[in-house]
A and B are shown apart, each in its own frame.
Chain A
Amino acid sequence: MNRSLKTMTAVAAAAALSIGFVSAGHAATQTKIAFVMGAEADPFFQAMKVGAQAQATASNVNLVWQGDPSHYDVQTEVPIVDSVISQAPDGLVLIPTDPTGLQASSDKAVAAGIQVANVDTHVADLSKVLTFITGDNGDGGAKAADAIAGAIKYTKGKTYQVVVGLTSKTATTNVARLDGFKAQIAKKYPGIKIKDVAYSASNPQTASSNVNNWLTKYPNLSGIFAIDGTNASGAAAALQSKKLVGKVALVGYDAYPANVALLKKGVFTALIAQDPAAEARLAIKTLVAKIVNGKNPAKRDVVIPNVALTKSTSAANLKKYTYVAN
């Protein structure tokens, strides 16, 4: 081997070693957390991303943000989660689009030594999950029932027709909100009858179509509970095109900026808002505490309250709860 070749080999070896040391040092100090959410196109998850990124920077976390661009669907989420697991992160924040469909992937992550947190929705068996952080969806559904009852000036002895627009039959948030809505109606407003439910599959045009058909089928419809942001957008458009704003109470979920603007215009009677950024921040904090310091959360399940926004909500609170995107 001539001298120049030896020199080159030595330089290459030194470079490789130094890269190795830097990588090792980097890996030793920076925790890697993967965050797999439902659908990137949903402003709820955009707001969550803002919170996750802020906390990742504060906690020196290498954040891997993943999920389907637009479909809130178990069939697209499973391969994404499995691919993320193969990257061997220290922690995984998972928003399961289906409680049973994502169970195997969640178990696989735990078996690979990855700490798993569930946010917003959860897998069927939470026993191996470090923490589950969610908005109080049941309470949100109850607040929606209160808002509709208030808007229609509910009177005992009278009957009222309402309908509910959902995105999916199995998403645990949809189910919890509907259960909370039904329970509150049974408890406090027995005169309110839920006439029908329909699914929009995350498409606001489908949500609008469902409401158009309901408005024709139930000419005496008193209220609509649009159980998430997509249904809220579609229902608001249908009421405006049928010139029924103010005549049918509309309670939506999720404080998209566009929906908050429609609340101010009186199209929505009320909007139930969550705090997705706070949920994401807490999930990353909890995972870092476990991964870096071995510290378990004080309690596994954490519920962050939902709030009902109305036209009379203060400007400061409207701003606070409006979902902010990047």
Chain B
Amino acid sequence: MTDSKQDQLKPAGIGAGIAKLFSNQSILLVAVILVLGIFFSIQSGGDFAKVMVFNNILTDWGSIILLAVGQTLVVISGGIDLSVGATVSLSSVVSAFVMMNVFKWDGTITGDAATVPLLVGTLIAVLTGAAVGVVNAILINVAKIVPFIATLATLSAAGGLAIIISGGQPLQGPSNFSLISAFGDPRLNPFSFMIIAVIVVVVIAGLFIHKAKLGLYTYAIGSNTFAARGAGINVERHLTKVYVLSGVFAGLGGMYSYIRLGAGSPTSGSGMELYAIAATVIGGASLMGGVGRILGTVLGTLVLYTVQSGLLMINVSPDWKQIVVAILIAGAVAVQGFKFTSKRSK
């Protein structure tokens, strides 16, 4: 490309500065959240600016972000994990079933007395999620099934198992709603214990993905599998780690759902895989692999739930929610495409 043509493509002056600023997906998403917040606050007559709305958004955010972090890791590796929603259902149900039938902890155990049962339940949920991840890894690495189909199969199997184990019923075991409530400890408001726990998990995951070998190898495989193999990375072993981690995050999401509902429900993860993928894409990850940031995913999930909560607060028909989410996804992909084209033209 000639210099004169390049000059024609480059925006000049302040425009160039703004364009550069907004080429950063995270800054763009923060701006989107701010604009949405102002818009919904004005439209709702100030209702949307209440602290409790922030708590509602964060509570919803907590249910998806764990899945979305796992999904981001998988997407960076060049794959996809459709099984995470069903894994949420399965792990919440298995956790409840074991607490109730093996340890004989039932719904009469509430409040602080439920702490130990819920910790044991969390371990069970994580192991259940990891088991689904192992199955995914075997299907992908050993049976050589593409991730889309492999995880579609486990989505179906995990969903079916959740129904068989629960008998289609919510299983009401030990509960402690103070953990998920902004009223649990007023000093934390608008956060709750569970939201803070999720933030800690996400930060640790972010550090591993962006600062440790785990992330480095994942980006390498997602960018170019052949080159990664050539550089000495054991691709199969690393992908196993990626899918097991995705399962572990979904298992944690299952326990989050259990604590939120006070019960293991066979439909608590229904459709959540699509929200996790949407949040990942809105956050700037590329489904082609090799691109994605945890901060982007965190913000992408916040955008989704700001929209969901905001539309309800201004009494917009629920049908519009799907359309707005579709516009957000299309917009995010368009921004990626624009950035890609700009980079290539330089």
- The chain A residues found within 8 Å of chain B, CB to CB, are 39-43, 45-46, 69-71, 169, 196-199, 201-205, 208-210, 212-214, 216-217, 230, 233-234, 236-237, 240-243, 256-258, 261-262, 323, 325-326
Chain A residues near B163: list those with CB within 8 A.
40-41, 69-70
Interface centre among B44, B180, B261, B272 (most CB of A within 10 A): B261
Option from B56, B89, B160, B271 in Cβ contact (under 8 Å) with A212: B56
- The chain B residues found within 8 Å of chain A, CB to CB, are 44, 47, 50, 52-53, 56, 59-60, 63, 89, 107, 156, 159-160, 162-163, 166-172, 175, 177, 180-181, 183, 257, 260-263, 265-272, 308-309, 312-313, 315, 318-319
Contact count A vs B, C-beta below 8 Å: 132
Option from B160, B261, B266 in Cβ contact (under 8 Å) with A205: B261
Option from A198, A205, A210 in Cβ contact (under 8 Å) with B63: A205
A243 CA / B290 CA spacing, docked (Å)? 45
**Known contacts A196-B312, A233-B261, A241-B177; A204/B170 CB under 8 A:** yes
Chain B residues near A213: list those with CB within 8 A.
53, 56, 309, 312-313
**Known contacts A204-B170, A212-B56, A237-B260; A198/B312 CB under 8 A:** yes
Option from A70, A169, A256, A261 in Cβ contact (under 8 Å) with B89: A70
Nearest B residue to A201, CB-CB: B271
User: What are 22 A-B pairs with beta-carbon distances under 8 A?
Assistant: A40-B163, A40-B168, A69-B159, A69-B160, A71-B271, A199-B318, A201-B271, A202-B270, A205-B272, A209-B308, A212-B59, A212-B60, A230-B267, A233-B261, A236-B262, A237-B262, A241-B180, A242-B183, A243-B181, A261-B107, A325-B167, A325-B168
Chain A min CB distance to B88 (Å): 9
Chain B residues near A204: list those with CB within 8 A.
170, 261, 265, 267-268
Whether A43 contacts B270 by the Cβ 8 Å rule is no
Option from B53, B267, B272 in Cβ contact (under 8 Å) with A216: B53
Chain B min CB distance to A81 (Å): 19
**Known contacts A70-B159, A198-B312, A217-B313; A237/B267 CB under 8 A:** no
Option from A45, A201, A258 in Cβ contact (under 8 Å) with B170: A258
Whether B56 contacts A209 by the Cβ 8 Å rule is yes
Chain A min CB distance to B320 (Å): 12
Whether A169 contacts B162 by the Cβ 8 Å rule is no
Whether A203 contacts B167 by the Cβ 8 Å rule is no
A189 CA / B265 CA spacing, docked (Å)? 35
Option from B47, B168, B315 in Cβ contact (under 8 Å) with A45: B168
Chain B residues near A209: list those with CB within 8 A.
56, 59-60, 308-309
Nearest B residue to A203, CB-CB: B270
Chain B residues near A203: list those with CB within 8 A.
267-272
Chain B min CB distance to A80 (Å): 13
Chain B residues near A45: list those with CB within 8 A.
168
Chain A residues near B107: list those with CB within 8 A.
258, 261
Whether B263 contacts A258 by the Cβ 8 Å rule is yes
Chain A residues near B50: list those with CB within 8 A.
216
A314 CA / B180 CA spacing, docked (Å)? 34
Whether A258 contacts B171 by the Cβ 8 Å rule is yes
**Known contacts A41-B162, A237-B262; A242/B267 CB under 8 A:** no
Option from B59, B168, B271, B318 in Cβ contact (under 8 Å) with A43: B168
Chain A min CB distance to B213 (Å): 35
**Known contacts A70-B89, A216-B47, A261-B107; A205/B312 CB under 8 A:** no
A40 CA / B172 CA spacing, docked (Å)? 19
A201 CA / B274 CA spacing, docked (Å)? 13
Whether A256 contacts B56 by the Cβ 8 Å rule is no
Chain A residues near B268: list those with CB within 8 A.
203-205
Nearest B residue to A214, CB-CB: B312
Whether A257 contacts B169 by the Cβ 8 Å rule is yes
Across the A-B interface, give the 7 residue pairs with the lowest CB-CB distance, nearest first: A325-B167, A46-B168, A258-B172, A241-B181, A41-B266, A241-B177, A216-B52
Whether A325 contacts B261 by the Cβ 8 Å rule is no
A216 CA / B160 CA spacing, docked (Å)? 36
Whether A217 contacts B44 by the Cβ 8 Å rule is yes
Nearest A residue to B106, CB-CB: A261
A198 CA / B322 CA spacing, docked (Å)? 13
Whether A46 contacts B53 by the Cβ 8 Å rule is no
Chain A residues near B309: list those with CB within 8 A.
209, 213
Whether B167 contacts A326 by the Cβ 8 Å rule is yes
Chain A residues near B167: list those with CB within 8 A.
43, 46, 325-326
Chain A residues near B44: list those with CB within 8 A.
217
Chain B min CB distance to A250 (Å): 14
Option from B160, B177, B266, B312 in Cβ contact (under 8 Å) with A217: B312
Chain A min CB distance to B278 (Å): 15
Chain B residues near A169: list those with CB within 8 A.
319
Chain A residues near B318: list those with CB within 8 A.
197-199
Whether B265 contacts A70 by the Cβ 8 Å rule is no
**Known contacts A204-B170, A325-B167; A217/B159 CB under 8 A:** no
Nearest A residue to B315, CB-CB: A196
Chain A residues near B177: list those with CB within 8 A.
237, 240-241, 243
